[in-house]
């Protein structure tokens, strides 16, 4: 599980201070599929960056899988990212120079897994996303949807507890977005906690839980069935 | 190490990588050839001269009247010089120790493929041994009657230095053997062996400093001007220099081109040598500097190009040290390829040199030291921009740029 207590994030530039997150209290339980929505600039990516240990914060406590990460040094944070978290980004963020196989292998190498172990996991992950035959291709030889599936394979190859996704379908057409969403649901069903930022209400509603961020503040959203009916009408 | 994936990634950057490999190979080749040549140059540095060079003066007159009887004028000069107080012996020669540049090939047989031996041949009269204070080691020294004055007559006898005897016959006896002064012609018999003295820059450079021969000959003509070598009473050389110069002010048809002690020629020889070696080394150092800037620039460029990539690797759990290791490994692969290629080129050229110039400059230990040095420079040149790479924040993956 993931637990934030009183976490704030302030960006300071020469001109202004931006309170990107204000006193966030949040508890996400193991196995949840959480969708985060909110207007542009409200702090969704900031939240994901903190949750994913890509950025540090000044105030509050953050427990990732029971460990308080505040005050950890850079190496500890890197190792935690490697072990516990898989990332999926809007812009895929594959390593363009490397074939798919080596792309997926990167985090496994950082974990220090043996060659045989890596091979087994890479192949398994490629299998899961349905790209087993493309191991030697370069990212540029794939469609956007396929690239995102590779990114997902890379994110899950290390069997992390958490999958953090920042608008994973933002660059995809609806058919491909559908495929990616189905994949995420499948992964969630096998036990991985997923936190996904999205602008797409329909996708958000397929999640167990909806969280809205508004001006740096986090709150749970309850959809009623009636809401859904009104929207559809 | 992720060598395989680095290689795969270099495959995508073939052009840049090959340019770096070529640059390093070029640096390796030029640096090692320069250092090898400089080392060969300095190896024969400041060897014993074998002669009392502080007490020997070299005088070189120049004859400018083509109608003059040079042979007679030389005899006249020698007598006048001999008469100066403090001059113990005078001999006319066609070459001067430390400055003998006419390198000759001599042979031990008349066959077409006979091996050649490098030497400097000093044509002089019988007094040269005394002037240079050389010791007769075997055989006999020339006397006045051996000296040939007729320009058309050929010599039939020769004296050679100890080192020359060793070069020609190894440890065998050289006396009474025949040497051909030209390919298939001009045979002369070795009648005496004398102690070694320094010949000149060229043979010194090839490690053959003491290979000389003396031909008893004083056939001076207008075109072949002599030098006079004067052996002075120890300690008097400097103070008598002006007296010697004065002799020539009073003579017709010639002027004094050079007069100096041999110790000055010796100094000049090694000074020129030293500055040549220095030039090689300075050029090499500049090249090394350029290359290290090139590598630092290349890495710097790569770091800028790959900021996103670095961020991705960091997000996926790469530590800062992993990022540094990546760049170091990548550059080591390039450097290794470059050094390998450069070594091949160096070996090729030193082999060419050794067949062309009969000079073996190759020194594998030195070559390895140079390779290690270049590798070390590479590491530093990568490490500096690499420090910027490890500072790329992982959050770049969600923020772009
Ligand atoms: N590195 C930064 N320096 C200064 N301000 C920043 C930085 N990153 C984000 N911000 C600011 O923090 C606020 C929250 O940004 P964030 O990227 O979290 O928004 P978001 O909800 O992800 O928006 P979007 O939907 O457009 O992606 C914004 O006002 C943004 O300008
Ligand atoms: Mg965002």
Mark whether B199 and B120 lie in a shared domain.
yes
Q: Same structural domain for residues B38 and B150?
A: no
Dihedral of CA atoms B241, B244, B246, B250 in degrees, nearest 10, equals -160
Q: What is the mean pLDDT of residues B36-63?
A: 88
Asked if B5 lies within 8 A of A81 by C-beta distance, the reply is: no
Of A115-129, B29-43, B102-116, B207-221, the range with the lowest mean pLDDT is B29-43
pLDDT at B202: 87
pLDDT tens profile B283-303 = 888 988 988 888 888 889 888
Instruction: Give distance in angstroms: CA of A39 to centre of ligand 2.
Output: 9
Dist. CA A190–CA A186, nearest whole Å: 7
* Domain stop point among B168, B201, B226: B226
Which of A66, A62, A63, A88 lies closest to A164, judged by CA? A88
Averaged pLDDT, B344-348: 93
Residue of A18, A55, A91, A195 to test ligand 1 pocket, by largest number of atoms within 8 Å of CB:
A18
Contact A211, A219 (CB under 8 A): yes
Closest to B308 measured CA to CA, from A128, A11, A89: A89
Does A44 contact ligand 1 (Cβ within 6 A)? yes
Contact B316 A99 (CB under 8 A): no
Is the distance from CB of B192 to CB of B254 less than 8 angstroms?
A: no
The closest CB to that of B315, out of A54, A74, A98, belongs to A54
- Looking at domain A2-232, its CATH class is alpha beta
- My answer on whether B204 and B328 are in the same domain is no
User: Terminus-to-terminus CA distance in chain B, angstroms?
Assistant: 28
B154-188 pLDDT tens trace: 999 999 999 999 999 998 899 999 999 999 899 99
CB B60 within 8 A of CB B255: no
Bridge-based pairing state of the strands A193-197 and A33-37: parallel
Residues B277, B336: one domain? yes
Task: Locate the domains of chain A by residue range.
Answer: 2-232
In a domain, B239, yes or no: no
Whether B103 and B207 map to the same domain: the answer is: yes
Of A228 and B51, more confident: B51
CB B198 within 8 A of CB B47: yes
Among B208, B213, B209, B170, which residue's Cα sits nearest to residue B190? B213
Report, as an integer, the average pLDDT of B225-254.
90
The residue-averaged pLDDT of A133-145 equals 94
What is the pLDDT at residue A228? 52
Q: CA of B205: how far to CAs of B256, B276, B277, B281, B356, in Å?
A: 30, 12, 11, 17, 15
In this structure, the answer to whether residues B96 and B209 fall within a common structural domain is yes
The model's confidence at residue B254, banded by pLDDT at 50, 70 and 90, is: confident
State how beta strands B254-261 and B185-194 pair.
unpaired
CB B332 within 8 A of CB B371: no
B316/A52 CB distance under 8 A: no
CB contact (8 A) between residue B308 and residue A93: yes
Q: Report the number of distinct structural domains present in chain B.
A: 2
Q: How many CB atoms lie within 10 A of CB B138?
A: 15
Buried b / exposed e over B327-350, threshold 16 CB at 10 Å, is: bbebbbbbbebbbebbbebbeebb
How many CA atoms does the CB half-sphere of B182 hold within 13 Å? 4
A32 Cα to the center of ligand 1, angstroms: 25
Q: How many angstroms separate the CA atoms of B244 and B27, rounded?
A: 53
Q: Does B65 map to a domain?
A: no
To which residue do tokens 């599980």 refer? A1
Structural domain of B334 = 3-45+270-397
**B7–chain A Cβ distance below 8 A for any pair:** no
* pLDDT at position A229 over 60: no
Listed residues: CB within 5 A of ion ligand 2:
A 45
DSSP codes, B152-195:
T----EEEEEHHHHHHHHTTS--TT-EEEEETTEEEEEEEEEE-
Ligand 1: residue whose CA is nearest its atom 16: A43
Following DSSP, what letter does each residue of B278-344 receive, concatenated?
HHHHHHHHHHHHHHHHHHHHHHHHHHHHTHHHHHHHHHTT--HHHHHHHHHHHHHHHHHHHHHHHHH
Nearest C-alpha of chain A: how many angstroms from B27?
29
Residues forming a β-bridge with A218:
A213
Report the distance separating Cα B319 and Cα B75, nearest Å: 89
Q: What is the mean pLDDT of residues B253-272?
A: 90
More confident residue, B341 or B219: B341
Using pLDDT thresholds of 50, 70 and 90, give the confidence band for residue A233: very low
Confidence bin at A230 (pLDDT 50/70/90)? very low
Instruction: Specify the pLDDT at position B351.
Output: 86
The whole-angstrom distance between B303's CA and the closest CA on chain A is 14
Assess if residue B15 is contained within a domain.
yes
pLDDT value for A143: 92
From the CB of A147, is ligand 1 less than 6 Å away? no
pLDDT at A80 over 50: yes
Ordered DSSP codes for B216-251: EB----SSS--EEEEEEPTT-HHHHHHHHHHHHHT-
- Whether the per-residue pLDDT at B277 is higher than 70: the answer is yes
Candidates A98, A62, A69, A52; CA nearest to A195 is: A52
Work out the percent of chain B whose per-residue pLDDT is above 90. 61
pTM for this model (two decimals): 0.75
Q: Contact B316/A111, CB-based, under 8 Å?
A: no
Q: B192 and B96 in one domain?
A: yes
Q: How many CB pairs under 8 A join A and B?
A: 82
Residue B58: strand, helix, or coil = strand
Q: Which residues of A145-166 are buried (b: 16+ CB within 10 A; e: fewer)?
A: bbbbbbbbbbbbbbebbbbbbb
Query: Does residue B312 share a domain with residue B365?
Result: yes
Contacts of A54 (CB under 8 A, 6+ apart): A48, A81, B315, B393, B394, B395, B397, B398
Which pLDDT value is given to residue A227?
52
The pLDDT of residue B401 is above 60 = no
One domain, residues B41 and B97:
no
Query: Domain end: B202, B226, B250, which one?
Result: B226
Q: What is the DSSP string of chain A?
A: -EEEEEEEEEEE-SS-EEEEEEEEEEEE-TT-EEEEE--TTSSHHHHHHHHTTSS--SEEEEEETTEE-TT--HHHHHHHHHHHEEEE-TT----TTS-HHHHHHHHHHHTT--HHHHHHHHHHHHHHTT-GGGTTS-GGGS-HHHHHHHHHHHHHHT--SEEEEESTTTTS-HHHHHHHHHHHHHHHHTT-EEEEE-S-HHHHHTSSEEEEEETTEEEEE---HHHHHHHH-
A138 interaction partners in chain B (CB closer than 8 Å): 12
Q: Does residue B238 fall inside a structural domain? A: no
Of all residues in chain B, the one with the smallest CA distance to A45 is: B398
Q: Do strands B212-216 and B116-124 pair parallel, antiparallel, or not at all (unpaired)?
A: parallel
ipTM of the complex: 0.93
| CB of residue A40 inside a 6 A radius of ligand 1 | yes
Task: Give a yes or no: residue B218 inside a domain.
Answer: yes
Going by pLDDT thresholds of 50, 70 and 90, the confidence category of residue A223 is low
Tens-digit pLDDT profile for residues A5-60: 999 999 998 889 999 999 999 999 999 999 999 999 999 999 999 999 999 998 89
Q: Is B329 on the interface with A (CB under 8 A)?
A: no
Give the pairing of strands A209-214 and B254-261.
unpaired
The conformation of residue B126, written as its DSSP 8-state character, comes to T
Q: In the structure, what pLDDT confidence band is assigned to residue B1 with cuts at 50, 70 and 90?
A: low
**CA–CA gap between residue B257 and residue B270 (Å, rounded):** 22
Q: Shortest CA distance to A47 belongs to which of A203, A183, A216?
A: A216
């Amino acid at each position: 599980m993931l637990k934030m207590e009183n976490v704030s994030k302030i960006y300071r530039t020469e001109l202004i201070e931006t309170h990107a997150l204000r006193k966030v209290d949040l508890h996400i339980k193991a196995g949840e599929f959480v969708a985060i929505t909110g207007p542009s600039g409200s702090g969704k990516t900031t939240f994901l960056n903190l949750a994913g240990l890509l950025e540090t914060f000044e105030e509050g406590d953050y427990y990732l899988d029971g460990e308080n990460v505040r005050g950890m040094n850079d190496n500890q944070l890197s190792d935690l990212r490697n072990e516990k978290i898989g990332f999926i980004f809007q812009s895929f963020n594959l390593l363009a120079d490397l074939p798919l196989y080596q792309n997926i292998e990167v985090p496994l190498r950082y974990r220090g897994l043996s060659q045989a172990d890596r091979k087994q996991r890479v192949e398994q992950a490629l299998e899961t996303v349905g790209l087993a035959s493309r191991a030697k291709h370069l990212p540029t030889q794939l469609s956007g949807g396929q690239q995102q599936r590779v990114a997902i394979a890379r994110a899950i190859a290390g069997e992390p507890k958490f999958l953090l996704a920042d608008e994973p379908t933002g660059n995809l057409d609806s058919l491909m977005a559908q495929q990616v969403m189905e994949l995420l649901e499948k992964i969630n069903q096998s036990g991985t906690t997923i936190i996904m930022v999205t602008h797409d209400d329909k996708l958000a509603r397929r999640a167990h839980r909806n969280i809205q961020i508004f001006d740096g503040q986090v709150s749970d959203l309850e959809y009623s069935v009636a809401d859904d009916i009104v929207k559809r009408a | 190490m992720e060598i395989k994936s680095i290689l795969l990634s270099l495959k995508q950057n073939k052009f840049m990588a090959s340019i770096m490999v070529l640059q390093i190979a070029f640096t390796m080749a030029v640096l090692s050839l320069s250092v090898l040549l400089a080392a060969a140059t300095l190896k024969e540095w400041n060897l014993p001269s074998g002669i009392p060079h502080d007490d020997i003066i070299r005088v070189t007159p120049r004859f400018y009247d083509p109608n003059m009887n040079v042979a007679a004028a030389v005899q006249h000069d020698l007598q006048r010089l001999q008469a100066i107080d403090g001059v113990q012996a005078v001999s006319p020669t066609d070459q001067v120790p430390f400055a003998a540049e006419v390198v000759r090939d001599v042979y031990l047989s008349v066959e077409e493929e006979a091996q050649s031996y490098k030497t400097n041949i000093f044509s002089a009269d019988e007094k040269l041994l005394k002037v240079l204070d050389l010791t007769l080691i075997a055989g006999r020294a020339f006397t006045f009657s051996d000296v040939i004055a007729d320009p058309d007559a050929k010599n039939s006898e020769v004296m050679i230095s100890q080192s020359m005897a060793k070069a020609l016959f190894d440890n065998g006896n050289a006396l009474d053997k025949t040497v051909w002064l030209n390919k298939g012609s001009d045979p002369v018999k070795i009648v005496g062996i004398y102690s070694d003295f320094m010949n000149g820059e060229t043979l010194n450079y090839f490690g053959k400093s003491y290979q000389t021969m003396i031909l008893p000959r004083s056939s001076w003509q207008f075109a072949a001007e002599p030098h006079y070598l004067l052996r002075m009473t120890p300690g008097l050389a400097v103070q008598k220099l002006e007296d010697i110069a004065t002799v020539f002010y009073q003579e017709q048809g010639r002027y004094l081109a050079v007069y100096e002690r041999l110790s000055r020629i010796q100094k000049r020889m090694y000074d020129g040598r030293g500055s040549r070696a220095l030039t090689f080394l300075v050029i090499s150092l500049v090249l090394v500097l350029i290359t290290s800037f090139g590598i630092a620039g290349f890495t710097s460029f790569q770091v800028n190009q790959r900021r996103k990539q670095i961020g991705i690797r960091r997000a996926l759990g790469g530590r800062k040290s992993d990022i540094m290791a990546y760049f170091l490994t990548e550059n080591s692969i390039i450097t290794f390829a470059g050094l390998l290629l450069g070594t091949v080129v160096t070996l090729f050229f030193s082999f060419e040199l050794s067949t062309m110039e009969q000079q073996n400059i190759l020194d594998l230990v030195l070559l390895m030291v140079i390779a290690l040095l270049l590798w070390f420079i590479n590491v530093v040149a990568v490490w500096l921009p690499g420090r910027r790479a490890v500072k790329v924040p992982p959050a770049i993956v969600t923020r772009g740029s």
